Amino acid sequence: MGKTLSDEGEGYLERSARGAVILLIGRLVSTALSAATVILIARLIGSRDYGYVAMAMIPLSIANLLSNPGVSAGLTRYIAHYRATGRDGDIPILLKAGLSVNALLSLLLTLLLYLLSPQLSMLFHAPPIQGLLRLASLYVAVNTLLLTAQAAFTGFERMELYSLTSIVYSILRFALSIILILLGLGAMGAMTGNVAATALAALLGLLLLLPHLRSSPGASMREREAISLLLAYGFPLFISSLLTVGLNQLYNLLLASHVEASVVGNYQAAVNFSALLSLLTTPIITTLFPLFSQLDRGELREAFQTSVKYTALLLTPLTLFLIALSEEVVSIVYGRNYSLASGYLALYLVNFLFIGLGGLSVANLLNGQGETRVVFQIRLINLLLGLPMGFILIPRLGVVGLLITLIAAPRLGLFYGLYWIWRRYGFTLDVGSSAKIYLSSLAAFLLVEFLLGALGLEDWVSLLLGGLLYLILYVLLTASLRTLDEGDFRNLRRMSRALGPLSPLIDPLISLVEALSKRFGL
């Protein structure tokens, strides 16, 4: 039987659940607006111009990565830690140090990207993106400030402020981008709207941080000391990100230099659907980090296994459902002009199926416990496998080669992380629970895929009928396999109470699964 968490562990989990639902609400609003923006932009400017925008974002993403040498992660970790240990007086010093470092680096990278825009447009064999790159260079500075402010809000557990800045950005991006495109600016209008919205959201974030920047008489460190602390903690994470996000952007560079802009547009259209899963994964990731930072070793096993089990319970079936209906979803959203996107989407979503093996929780546990060296080792393993795979497969297979690399290369690093946690802390996944979740999700997937394929319905009908059928099958299979036990139901109800207005929506589903599980012999 699964364990019920201790009172202290439940308290942490309740706060994390509350923070997650605040983020989830914010993500629901911002993602809905972002999805509408992306869909309208893709429809209005076409796959070729949309490919140009995606190409321009590649060097931009690399510059964004370099502009933050792990400082934001350090802010989240030490703000949460200092609040828990009564060192609130040092927090303003940390904030000033973090903002200063990130602002300086981002401004330097903005200038560099502006100067290199002609050479980058030649690399992609796409002269139209030169102007996009010059405009986009401003995005590096303002986006870095926005992300730094949001990292601080996470450390303070002020998830409502995190959500507010995200929503403001999404509203402004939607309004400005669409208006500018309709005025005839095309891809340039889409980029201008994005840069302007980010700048205004960053300004709001900095204004909301002002009360926390006031010096306190209880400070025990200087700003230089704070910079050293943040860099010492964050630099291994920065190198780790460089080995993952940077590696992914290298893949994108290879792709953009070997395929046409329209193919890049189809790939980007497919990747945009991952926002639906990111809607759920981002709040989980954001709240797990401070959670694992506050727990001692005695609570880690319960929190780790619980986080893996409950995130897999939600995200694994959703991923397989999207794979099953990928063709219908792409057709409804983008129309027939993005004919390659559905196949790319189905293959891309395979990455999310590793959540049940700790894909979201392993790195967060290690980072939260200060084991950034191990995270670096995991990223290095990914690099050593991914780099040769990318250089071999992407030029030959294009998008398919990229997707195979993204799926296969990171898995050895994940297994190494699980092994390290077992050796260091003496626990690992709840393998039985993960296996039952995979079995329930896969069985529902196969049944829905077979039935919808045989019926040959319209896209909308397939999507609605498939969704209802998948939910019913998954609930029945989860209950019949007794994936959740009495301890799980108590934990879920305790977490549900922390979700406030969403609790009445979630409790009936918990009760239904519990009743069915008892019916099947819990």
The pLDDT of residue 1:
43
3-state secondary structure 270-284: HHHCHHHHHHHHHHH
| Cα gap 27→308, rounded to integer Å | 21
Q: Which amino acid is at 401?
A: G
- What are the tokens at 306? 């619980």
pLDDT at 394: 93
Is 0.75 topped by the overall pTM? Answer: no
**Where do runs of H (alpha helix) occur along 257-339?**
261-272, 274-294, 297-324, 326-334
By C-alpha distance, which of 325, 371, 341 is closest to 464?
A: 325
**How many Cβ atoms sit within 10 Å of the Cβ of residue 466?**
20
Closest CA to 76 of 332, 138, 68: 68
pLDDT one-digit tens code per residue, 308-337: 888 888 889 988 998 988 888 888 888 777
Three-state helix/strand/coil letters over 53-108: HHHHHHHHHHHHHHCCCCHHHHHHHHHHHHHHCCCHHHHHHHHHHHHHHHHHHHHH
Reported as a single tens digit per residue, the pLDDT across 399-453 is: 999 999 999 998 999 999 999 989 988 888 888 888 999 999 999 999 988 888 8
DSSP 8-state assignment for residue 4: P
Nearest to 360 by CA among 289, 430, 435, 263: 289
State the pLDDT at residue 289.
Answer: 45
513 vs 495: CA distance, rounded Å: 16
Q: List, for residues 3-39, the tens digit of each pLDDT value.
A: 544 554 455 545 555 555 555 566 667 767 877 888 8
Given a contact cutoff of 8 angstroms between Cβ atoms, the answer to whether 260 and 47 are in contact is no
What is the pLDDT at residue 438?
93
Q: Give the chain's largest Cα–Cα span.
A: 72
- Give the sign of the dihedral formed by CA 510, CA 512, CA 515, CA 521: negative
For the chain, list residues with pLDDT below 70. 1-28, 31, 216-219, 275-298, 491, 494-503, 505-506, 521-522
Which residue type occupies 405? T
Contact assessment for residue 165 and residue 204, using Cβ atoms and an 8 Å cutoff: yes
Q: For the chain, which residues make up each domain, given as ranges? A: 7-483
Length of the chain: 522
